[in-house]
């Protein structure tokens, strides 16, 4: 019995030592895999995983006619996450190409404030702080075609998608702001323009619902109008009794870039051509919605410049900016004289 016990004990010690040796061996092996450098080449069980017949970026590849390894995507390829299938959101149009009537985003207080911020950065230089089209660039005598006021029936009734499209695609002499203004901010600006239109088109009944001194507002408005009239009178007085000339009229037309919208050779641009305009007759729609026939004489031309929405020529949209009321009598009469020279009537 003593011999058997002693044999079992020896066997257990050997087993224990073997287990310890195994653990130490595994530990040393794992330790050797912890970033230790080796001068020997790595083991490659499958060499073609490292030695593939491929081309590196910018490497010449004579397989293709242009010799480039880096290939252009197949036509129509859209990068993952960049598919813009929602035309209403990304382009402001319906599937049939019509402008969306209402913006496809929720109007929130934060959206309006964001629109106000972006509008004041990108839009006020031309469209003015209130959207009246009298921004610093338009009134500073730089010769730009005046921006239209947002406070006209046509733009108040225009679909939201049309205003979005003007920002996204540009319109007439206004460039596209697609690169400067992302999609969300474009809709935010549209929302803020709608807020401006509402704020500048409030009736007296609506104003009286709030704690506003209407008589004080009216007094301030009348004072501003009187000041403008005084400035206009001073301007005309400084010019003295000047005789209108076609030469000066051409200078005024060039200064205000009238040729951008009105051609002098009979071609149709945005507005009616000045070629053979003076003395002609044509149908117009009055601001009361009545269609009448008028003779395009001096009185009519001056009214069309100073009050462009009073009579809209048949076949044309009311797009002319209401921003020339400050022109002096000398300037206006000279423009008429210049237009006369373009007519054979």
Contact 253, 145 (CB under 8 A): no
Torsion angle (degrees, nearest 10) of CA 266, 268, 274, 276? 40
Q: Is residue 109 domain-shared with residue 183, that is, in the same domain?
A: yes
Q: Does position 12 have pLDDT exceeding 80, yes or no?
A: no
Domain extent at residue 194: 87-199
Instruction: Classify residue 49: in a domain, yes or no.
Output: no
Interval 237-291: pLDDT, tens: 776 677 889 999 999 888 887 887 899 998 887 889 999 999 999 999 988 888 9
Residue 17 lies in a domain: no
Q: How many domains does the chain have?
A: 2
Are 112 and 192 in the same domain? yes
pTM recorded for the entire structure = 0.58
Asked whether residue 29 is domain-assigned, the answer is no
Judge whether 22 lies within some domain: no
Structural domain ending residue among the three candidates 167, 199, 231: 199
CATH number for the domain that contains residue 337:
1.10.760.10
Confidence of residue 24 (pLDDT cuts 50, 70, 90): confident
The stretch 124-152 carries a mean pLDDT of 81
Residues 284 and 190 grouped into a single domain: no
Give CA–CA dist 129/196, Å, rounded: 9
Q: Are residues 195 and 92 in the same domain?
A: yes
Could you report the per-residue pLDDT of 58-89, keeping only the tens digit for each? 889 988 999 999 988 888 888 887 788 889 99
pLDDT at 281: 92
285 and 181, same domain (yes or no): no
* Residues 244, 334 contacting (CB under 8 angstroms): yes
- Helix (H/G/I), strand (E/B), else coil: 109: helix
Do 101 and 189 belong to one domain? yes
Residue 156, in any domain of the structure? yes
Return the axis-axis angle of helices 298-306 and 329-341, rounded to nearest 10°: 120
Radius of gyration, alpha carbons of the chain = 38
Tokens found for residue 257: 């870039």
Model confidence pLDDT, tens digit, residues 39-61: 777 777 776 666 677 788 888 99
What gap in Å lies between CA 276 and CA 67, rounded to an integer?
Answer: 61
From 178, 199, 220, the end of a domain falls on: 199
CA-based end-to-end distance of the chain = 143
Q: What is the mean pLDDT of the chain?
A: 84
Give the tens place of pLDDT for each residue, 173-221: 789 999 999 999 999 999 999 999 998 888 878 888 888 788 888 888 8
What is the mean predicted confidence (pLDDT) over 147-160?
87
Q: Does a structural domain hold residue 207?
A: no
137: in domain: yes
User: How does DSSP assign 230-297, residue by residue?
Assistant: HHHHHHHHHH-S----HHHHHHHHHHTTGGGTS-SSS--SSS--STT-TT-EEEEEETTS-EEEEE--
Residue 21 lies in a domain: no
Cβ atoms 93, 100 nearer than 8 A: yes
CB atoms within 10 A of CB 123: 23
Domain boundary among 164, 199, 234: 199
pLDDT value, residue 83 = 80
């Amino acid at each position: 019995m003593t011999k058997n016990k002693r044999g079992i004990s020896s066997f257990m010690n050997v087993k224990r030592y073997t287990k310890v040796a195994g653990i130490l061996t595994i530990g040393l092996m794992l330790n050797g895999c912890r970033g230790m450098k080796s001068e020997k080449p790595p083991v490659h069980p499958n060499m073609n995983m490292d030695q593939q017949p491929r081309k590196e970026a910018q490497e010449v590849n004579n397989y293709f006619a242009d010799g480039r390894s880096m290939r252009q995507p197949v036509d129509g390829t859209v990068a993952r996450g960049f598919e813009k299938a929602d035309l209403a959101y990304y382009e402001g149009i319906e599937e049939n190409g019509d402008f969306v009537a209402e913006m496809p985003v929720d109007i929130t207080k934060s959206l309006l404030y964001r629109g106000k911020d972006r509008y004041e950065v990108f839009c006020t230089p031309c469209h003015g702080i209130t959207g009246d089209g009298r921004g610093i660039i338009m009134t500073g005598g730089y010769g730009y075609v005046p921006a239209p006021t947002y406070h006209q029936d046509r733009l108040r009734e225009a679909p939201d998608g049309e205003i979005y499209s003007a920002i996204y695609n540009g319109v007439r002499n206004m460039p596209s702001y697609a690169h400067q203004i992302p999609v969300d901010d474009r809709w935010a600006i549209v929302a803020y323009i709608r807020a401006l239109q509402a704020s500048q088109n409030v009736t007296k009944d609506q104003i009286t619902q709030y704690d506003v001194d209407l008589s004080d507002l009216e007094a301030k408005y009348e004072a501003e109008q009187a000041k403008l009239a005084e400035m206009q009178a001073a301007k005309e007085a400084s010019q003295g009794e000047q005789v209108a000339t076609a030469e000066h009229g051409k200078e005024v037309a060039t200064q205000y870039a009238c040729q951008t919208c009105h051609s002098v050779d009979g071609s149709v641009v945005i507005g009616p051509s000045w070629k053979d305009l003076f003395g002609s007759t044509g149908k117009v729609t009055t601001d009361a919605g009545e269609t009448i026939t008028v003779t395009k004489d001096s009185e009519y031309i001056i009214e069309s410049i100073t009050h462009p929405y009073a009579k809209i020529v048949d076949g044309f949209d009311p797009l002319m900016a209401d921003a020339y009321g400050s022109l002096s009598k000398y300037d206006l009469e000279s423009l008429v004289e210049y237009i006369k020279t373009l007519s054979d009537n």
